[in-house]
Amino acid sequence: MSTPLCRLCGTELEVTFVDLGMSPPCESFLAADELDQGETFYPLHVRICSECLLVQLPAYIPAEEIFSDYAYFSSYSDSWVAHAGRFVEDAIARRGLDDSSFVVEVASNDGYLLQHTIAKGIRSLGIEPAANIAQVANDKGIPTVSRFLGEAVGKTVAQEHGPADLVVANNVFAHVPDIVDFAKGLRALVADDGVVSIEIPHLQRLIEGRLYDTIYHEHFSYLSLLTTQRVLAAAGLTVVDVQELTTHGGSLRTWSVPTERATAPSDDVARVLAAEERAGLHTVEGHQGFADVVAAVRDDLIEFLIDCRRKGAVVAGYGAPGKGNTLLNHCGIRSDLLSFTVDRNPHKHGHFLPGTHIPIRPPEALDEERPDYVLILPWNLREEIAAQLAPLKASGTQLVVPLPALEVLP
């Protein structure tokens, strides 16, 4: 196999960031009649470009294969819907959006965010590659087209609907293999006096928080502010402001404008870049050593689960997120250590996790089985989930999160 090339600058990718071995696609849930069939596993070998410093996973699986029919619905997370609502309020205040404005969200999922702009009387359009999810949004009255964004699609949508005052791309920038063409699509969508807002998990927080379960085949790139700037610059967009968020273990929200009208960036841009440089993210060498951190996380979780089994304690999971499947497959955890998991998404009920074949049941199964421990796989939603499980916890079940460090919640 030839050496993969950097998706930003074309340099050969010869430096490893972390290698998690082989894993199936994290959203490839199995029906019962598929359990005795073969599964395809792909490498999770993340590299760093020695020239532009973009940390990236080669496109082992085409994006069309992952996202054309998708099992993740954003609206099943109450806290995520609330986060989107706060973003809309912030964007309205920043940009003075009103009923004469036009907002486009890319990877708009089931309308979890645009429902807030539409409620404000703002003309809105979603662009969602997964046809099944786009249909759900349209059924809810949120205009959505099912397309994969690139420069050509961005130009077509702008011609049909007009340029957007605000283009939103939350937690999708890392999900596209041709990230430069995607960024050019954002530029094509936005008006010359408009703004592009992007949310990305922050590579610095991934490293500091040992959050390696956010590495999976859907995430093609792992971004710092520095590399985000470089990608957007290649598409004619300039970052003028940045906010640090707590979502997904630590994220960045960047605000960008067409380069030809960019003003000097805010002090926060310089501050975040300086923090990244101090953390070593402006050199290849500063990215090294993550493999040892990953091994420690894996060992802690496996030792906990084995100790539970030896004591006769039953452990169930909560959630069936992509990050959970990375964690479970990397650790080699099967149903002998994690009896089952539950999820609020009914589309997953009766199915099994990819690779591990752990069954997915409705949340009510926790009340029926009363496990000794519940392992919260979407640890980024720990407060929301802990609140949901408060009655179960009051009856004696203990809640556990695997990351950033293994913790039995008080």
Note whether 106 and 136 are same-domain residues. yes
Note whether 237 and 356 are same-domain residues. no
Collapsing DSSP to helix, strand or coil, 63 comes out as helix
- Residue 241's DSSP bridge partners are 255
Note whether 122 and 260 are same-domain residues. yes
Residue 364 resides in a domain: yes
Residue 154 resides in a domain: yes
**Tens digits of residue pLDDT in 101-131:** 999 999 998 898 999 999 999 999 999 988 8
Note whether 95 and 228 are same-domain residues. yes
pLDDT of residue 60: 85
pLDDT of residue 63: 62
Note whether 267 and 305 are same-domain residues. no
Q: Which of 388, 383, 316 is nearest to 353 (CA)?
A: 316
Note whether 105 and 71 are same-domain residues. yes
Which of 234, 265, 287 marks a domain boundary? 287
Residue 59 resides in a domain: no
Note whether 88 and 227 are same-domain residues. yes
Q: Which of 165, 152, 93 is nearest to 125 (CA)?
A: 165
Note whether 197 and 318 are same-domain residues. no
Residue 54 resides in a domain: no
Note whether 401 and 330 are same-domain residues. yes
**Tens digits of residue pLDDT in 201-223:** 999 999 999 999 999 998 999 99
DSSP output for 115-169: HHHHHTT-EEEEE-S-HHHHHHHHHTT--EE-----HHHHHHHHHHH--EEEEEE
Structural domain for 176, as ranges? 67-287
CATH number at residue 95: 3.40.50.150
Which of 287, 311, 334 marks a domain boundary? 287
DSSP output for 192-250: EEEEEEEEEEBHHHHHHTT-GGG-STT--EEB-HHHHHHHHHHTTEEEEEEEEE-GGGS
Tokens of 268: 């926060």
Q: Provide the strand spans (E) within 39-100.
A: 42-48, 55-56
Give the span between the Cα atoms of 174 and 252, in whole angstroms: 12
Residue 160 resides in a domain: yes
pLDDT of residue 1: 58
Note whether 132 and 279 are same-domain residues. yes
pLDDT of residue 83: 87
Residue 340 resides in a domain: yes
389-398's contacts with Cβ under 8 Å and 24+ in sequence apart are 389/318, 392/366, 392/367, 395/370, 396/370, 396/372, 397/366, 397/370, 397/371, 397/372, 397/373, 398/372, 398/373, 398/374
Note whether 158 and 276 are same-domain residues. yes
pLDDT of residue 69: 53
Residue 344 resides in a domain: yes
Collapsing DSSP to helix, strand or coil, 73 comes out as coil
pLDDT of residue 237: 98
CATH number at residue 296: 3.40.50.720
Residue 156 resides in a domain: yes
Q: Indicate the pTM of the whole model.
A: 0.89
CB of 123 closer than 8 Å to CB of 141: no
pLDDT of residue 251: 95
Number of structural domains (the chain) is 2
Which of 287, 308, 323 marks a domain boundary? 287
pLDDT of residue 72: 53
Low-confidence ranges of the chain (pLDDT < 50): 68
The secondary element (H helix, E strand) that includes residue 253 is: strand 251-258
148-151's contacts with Cβ under 8 Å and 24+ in sequence apart are 148/63, 148/64, 148/67, 149/106, 149/107, 149/176, 149/182, 149/185, 149/186, 149/189, 150/178, 150/181, 150/182, 150/184, 150/185, 151/181, 151/184, 151/185, 151/187, 151/188
Size of the chain, expressed as the number of residues it contains: 410
Backbone angles phi, psi at 133, to 5 degrees: -80, -35
Note whether 181 and 203 are same-domain residues. yes
Q: Which residues of 72-96 are buried (b: 16+ CB within 10 A; e: fewer)?
A: bbbbbbeebbebbbebbeebbeebe
pLDDT of residue 77: 67
Cis peptide before 4 (omega within 30 of 0): no
Cβ count near 314 (within 10 Å)? 16
